[in-house]
Structure 1
Amino acid sequence: MTKNWIPMSHAEGVAAKQAHVALPEGTYEREMSKEGFFGPAAHLYHQNPPTGWIDWEGPLKPRAFDTAKFADTVDCVWKARTLLSNPHCQYRHLAMDRAMDHLVRNGDGDELIFVHDGEGSLFCDFGHITYNEGDYIMLPRGTMWRLEPKTLSKLLLIEATNDSYRLPDKGLVGPHAIFDPGVLQIPKLDEAFLAQQKTPRQWRIVIKRRGQLSTVTYPFNPLDVVGWKGDLTVVKLNWRDIRPLMSHRYHLPPSAHTTFLASRFVVCTFVPRPIESDPEALKVPFFHNNDDYDEVIFYHKGSFFSRDNIHPGMISLHPCGFTHGPHPKAFAAGAKATKKETDEVAVMLDTRDALDVGTAADGIEFKGYAATWNPDGFRQAAE
């Protein structure tokens, strides 16, 4: 149903004419919006930073987790650690250093893999494809597959539970913007794929459905396809093939960097880009309320220009319902325009439904994260 928003456009007191541009001197802009920056919005101009809290009690506070603290590896995809979840999304971390001796099939939804580190091969119904650091691999629900890491592989797995991944509507910029579909790669029925069919032994398929596992055993390798046709397959995309939307005069919202979407969440990719050069334009993410989505960022590599106390492999979780934005050092650096371009690579997950934190994430939490916006006088920083 089309949403009939209450029509209203008004300005009161001291306010900028254009959002994120030429802020009134001595003010801090905060955006309230609906539908993750796509609906009605208000921009409020404060005398103090909206993130200048000195204390925080209760479960809504921002949290951060460090996957670099995970030391052990697993031999099956379904042993991946569940970090965050809701009925529409499972967000897991996997570390694997040896070839799987069985196949898996996800009956619960499409799977999206992001390769944080490592290289190797993926074998599936559609053939063989290699993977390297920075690759996304999308596996349609029902695909049989297994991994053969060449080096220790650290992966994010984002399941679209009971759903499918799609590409965003690119609107006025056309279908070849951000990334041309021509850069997508698919598996091949190559020599490596044909060779693995000849392994003379029993093979197991471990199938996940409704969160439960079933094992089916065959006296042959079920990856015995000799050909296929159609418009459904595994696809691979590396972040280096993403050419982000940019504006030198206006700071674009994160939604401009959407890479994949499902019905109840989106996956965005932040890649290196020039920083806004217009002297009046805001040069860091704006303070904002995102009251419709939980926001998760996985920091893959580089220097994260809006964050402090963050390194590659960390994950931040900002639940919907409070104001957040750049750390003080990042905001100050942006005001001085000390950097001309970003060098960060990060994967953002925005979910329409609240995420639950898994016990695996509890064990790697950076307890002082909420204090990093105001490190002086925050009594929880010492926890």
Structure 2
Amino acid sequence: MKNIVLLSTAEWDNPFWTNKQHTACSLADLDCRILYIESLGLRRPSIHPRDWHRLIKRFTKAFSLPKKINSNLWVWSPLVIPAPTTWHTKLLNRIVFSVSLYLVMMILGFNDSILWTYNPLTKNYVSIKHFSSTIYHCVDNISAQPGMNARLINAEEKKLCNDVDHVFVTSSTLYRSLKRWTKNITYMPNVVDFKHFSKARSRRPAPNEYIDIPEPRLLFVGAISSYKVDLGMIREIALMMPSWSIVLIGLVGEGDPATNIKEIDDLSNIYLLGPKPYQDLPIYMSHSQVGLLPCLLNKYTESMFPMKFFEYLAAGLPVVSTQLAALNSFKDCFLTGKNSFEFVVHIKSILDGRSTINPDHASSIASKYTYEMRSVAMLRIIDRVLDKSMRR
């Protein structure tokens, strides 16, 4: 049984789970013992009330022992200063975190552990030499997110890639970027909880909110943040086709509290439903006609493989997306639009039954990219890494 210390960049109870939570659960299901460490705070808190609420919540959790989720999984919220800027606060963080982690690992019996990190600043907090093996799982270009210290993150990420035993990345762009710093790197795209989202293909009663939302319903699920979502395009589509309902499920401003939704908030055919429980998402997808990925094209999204892509496909939803480099290998599974006009043309073809995309074929492709399959493949690579280290 492997002991894995998983250093995340996401809160466990975030309403929209990311790679980190899903991967932790998948590894736990494969009989690994997981210590999931919540975000250490890569971005300096803003004056936005949401950031202050998050700080207070984290502070109250910091004095608790790790929470046991199941027999193989614990969640821990350490006490750290988020995004420290001075040498003494950085040193304080390193001392407090390292000592606390050592004690937690002793209490839980995490001996001979593997470090699996998503945090490019990991070496600022703990010595990675104390672990039997070290993995960096890079799923985003974090330095391109709002409020990040890009220079620091890029410099530390280079050092981390040089020093860990293996790097996993979720997009071809990230692969090209990080392979400059290491030869031990593997590209594995984002995956899907196929069993969960394929439930959308079994017709169930529509959610209550949909009673007053007429078809056709064009659905977007995810963080509604101005650095990722093209809000202007959504507005243009809504104005061009007032008989279409555009449904947005997600938290406004996640990762970017400065997000302003005024340009879409005043249109009667745009419905902002807020975040919904993970277990309910297939129901909303089941009663929608198109899955939307109206992503901005920028330095962040050029490295992004949207998790919702395979989730839409698993649900049987035809997908229309902007031209994301990470999706180039799956061109036969979705339609690409460069602007609002092309989005409207493609959506019309889907609604009229003229689309060249076969949802059954697309769903079958998605079924080959599951968390279990990816976790098994990753563990095989880690086994080879451990085997090499034992031979030294």
Q: Which has the larger radius of gyration?
A: 1
Q: TM-score range by the shorter chain?
A: under 0.3
Q: Which has the higher strand share?
A: 1
Q: Which has the higher helix share?
A: 2
- TM-score under structure 1 length normalisation: 0.24
Larger RCO (alpha carbons 8 Å, 6+ apart): 1
- TM-score under structure 2 length normalisation: 0.24
